[in-house]
Structures are given as C-alpha cells and as structure tokens.
C-alpha cells in the first residue's frame, strides 16, 4: 500500500517545478502519447526525476508527466504508464494515480489499446469502458490499507463514472465519432491470449481485452477520483481472424485512430 509520506514527497517535487494545479488527469495508452504535446504552457517532468516513481522501459512510451492546459482546464497527462507485465508491483503501477490525487485531480481519463473480443467491433473503433473484469487474480488494494487514502473494502459498483460517461457519449455523438461501449477484461500479458482464452473471455462477458487500466481505475476509485476509460481497439483478439497478432500492427492501428481520439478527448476535457 502506498505511503502518505511518499506521495507527499512526489507531490512536493512536482509543485517545486510548476504552479499549475491540475484537476483532470489522463493516462495515455500506447501510440497516443502525442496528446500530451497538445497541452498549452506545458511542463515536462521525467518519471525518473519524480521521487517514488518506478522506471519504465516500455516500447512506444516516453515516460514523463506533462502538466499544462487545454480547453480551459488544467491537466496532468501520463505519457507512458507502468504495466504489471513489466514486472512492476501494482503499488508501482498505480502510484501515479495517488500523486494525481495529491495534486488536486478530481477526474481521470484512462486510455488503452486493446483487442476486440466482441465480433461486432472492429479494429480502429473507440470503446467507452462500462465496467471491467479482473482476470489476473491480483488487486492493487491487497496489503495493509492506508486509511488516509481510502477505505479497506471498496465498493466497485461504478468504477467508471456514469455521469462522466454520458458526457463522453454526447461528445462522440456531436463529433460523429463511432463510440462502442463495453466491458474491458484485464489480462496480465505480456503474451497475448490464446484462441481458447479469448473464447473464455467472451463467455465471461467481456467485449475487449488488454493489459492495463484496471489497477489504475481501482486505485482512482479508492482515492475518490471519478474515472472514465476509453479504449481503442487495435486488433481483433486472438483466434477471431486467422492471423497472428503483432505489436507493430497494434501501434499502426493506434496511429490511425489518433485524430478521432484527440478530438474526442480534447472536447471531453473541456466539458469535464
């Protein structure tokens, strides 16, 4: 469990660099880190300089906190995130969400690349996460609870905030962007799923599968931050098409959704 003093130390570091007080946080998934470059008057803080942050080496991520403004809102963006499959503990994966809370973040947008399990969906679609299924048998809240940070037994009946979700739906409609809605299943990775595992995941009720988001969303809920999750479906999940999955294909598809994603997220932030 995160320590109050550690969070304070990392907050003090950030606040020694900028006076901007962010109220909205965003975690940027693979290939979409460029959203952070659209923030105005931004400061860039490498994770390696922030006390108690882990060091990340994931491909396609640049590993810095970017704090600036867009649509009249002060935003802190994570350009690059920590994944469980990299070997980080879930405390390390989710520490940045505690920092966001300490900095004043009230609303969080979590984004990710994921595979489409629902065969009505297509690569290139955006999906608003309505709920999740944790398939990993791990949970970032395991361990002694720090009562400064949240409750021991967390209600998770609405991890992805309904009122905020309806704003995202309205924005997508206004922008003529197709926005799917569905359940995200968290798979540890780093291996993708087998065809049999995808059949299992579909049977369990998930529409998409990926290797992130759920730990951060759970900690955000614990911290009292209202969250939405926006996925971009980069591929049909394994076994749906008769072809292997590749990370290159995923990054390529992420590149193609960039324009719609940037539009949707930018307008959403201005209405949050």
Binding site for ligand HPA (CB under 6 A): 113-115, 187, 192-193, 209-211, 234-235, 237, 245, 250
Residue 158 CB, shortest distance to ligand HPA, in Å, is 24
25 within 8 A of 39, measured Cβ to Cβ: no
Q: Annotated catalytic, 211?
A: yes
Sequence-ordered list of residues with C-beta below 8 angstroms from that of 10, at least 6 positions apart, any chain: 50, 51, 52, 53, 95, 99, 102
Specify the residue for token string 């962007």: 177
Q: Annotated catalytic, 172?
A: no
- Compute CA distances 269 → 16, 23, 124, 179, 265, whole Å: 25, 10, 22, 16, 6
In this complex, which beta carbon is closest to ligand HPA, that of residue 193 or of residue 267?
193
What is the CB neighbour count within 10 angstroms for residue 86? Answer: 17
Residue 235 is assigned to a ligand binding site: yes
Residue 47 CB, shortest distance to ligand HPA, in Å, is 22
Residue 186 tokens read as: 């968290």
Residue 28 CB, shortest distance to ligand HPA, in Å, is 14
Q: Annotated catalytic, 212?
A: yes
Residue 193 is assigned to a ligand binding site: yes
Residue 259 CB, shortest distance to ligand HPA, in Å, is 19
β-bridge partners, 230: 111, 128
215 within 8 A of 90, measured Cβ to Cβ: yes
Q: Which of 10, 30, 63, 118 is catalytic?
A: 30
Burial class (CB in 10 A: 0-12, 13-18, 19+), 239: middle
Residue 231 is assigned to a ligand binding site: no
In this complex, which beta carbon is closest to ligand HPA, that of residue 66 or of residue 237?
237
In this complex, which beta carbon is closest to ligand HPA, that of residue 22 or of residue 229?
229
In this complex, which beta carbon is closest to ligand HPA, that of residue 144 or of residue 244?
244
- Enumerate the active-site residues: 30, 61, 83, 85-86, 113, 211-212, 235, 247
């Amino acid at each position: 469990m995160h320590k109050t003093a550690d969070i304070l130390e990392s907050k003090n570091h950030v606040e020694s660099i900028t006076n901007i007080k962010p109220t909205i946080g965003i975690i940027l998934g693979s290939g979409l880190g460029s959203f952070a470059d659209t923030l105005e008057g931004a400061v860039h803080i490498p994770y390696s300089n922030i006390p108690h942050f882990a060091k990340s080496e994931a491909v396609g991520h640049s590993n810095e906190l970017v704090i600036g403004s867009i649509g009249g809102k002060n935003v802190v963006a994570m350009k690059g995130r920590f994944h469980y499959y990299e070997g980080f503990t879930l405390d390390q994966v989710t520490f940045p969400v505690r920092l966001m809370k300490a900095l004043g973040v009230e609303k969080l947008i979590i984004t990710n690349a994921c595979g489409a399990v629902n065969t009505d969906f297509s690569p290139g679609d955006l999906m608003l996460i309505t709920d999740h299924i944790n398939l990993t048998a791990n949970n970032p809240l395991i361990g002694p609870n720090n009562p400064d940070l949240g409750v021991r037994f967390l209600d998770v009946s609405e991890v992805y905030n309904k009122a905020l979700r309806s704003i995202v739906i309205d924005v997508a409609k206004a922008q003529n962007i197709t926005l799917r809605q569905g359940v995200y299943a968290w798979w540890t990775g780093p291996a993708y799923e087998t065809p049999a595992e995808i059949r299992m995941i579909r049977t369990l009720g998930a529409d998409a599968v990926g290797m992130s988001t759920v730990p951060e969303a759970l900690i955000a809920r614990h911290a009292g931050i209202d969250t939405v999750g926006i996925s971009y479906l980069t591929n049909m999940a394994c076994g749906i098409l008769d072809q292997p999955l590749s990370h290159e294909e995923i990054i390529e598809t992420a590149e193609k959704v960039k324009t719609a994603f940037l539009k949707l997220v930018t307008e959403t932030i201005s209405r949050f």
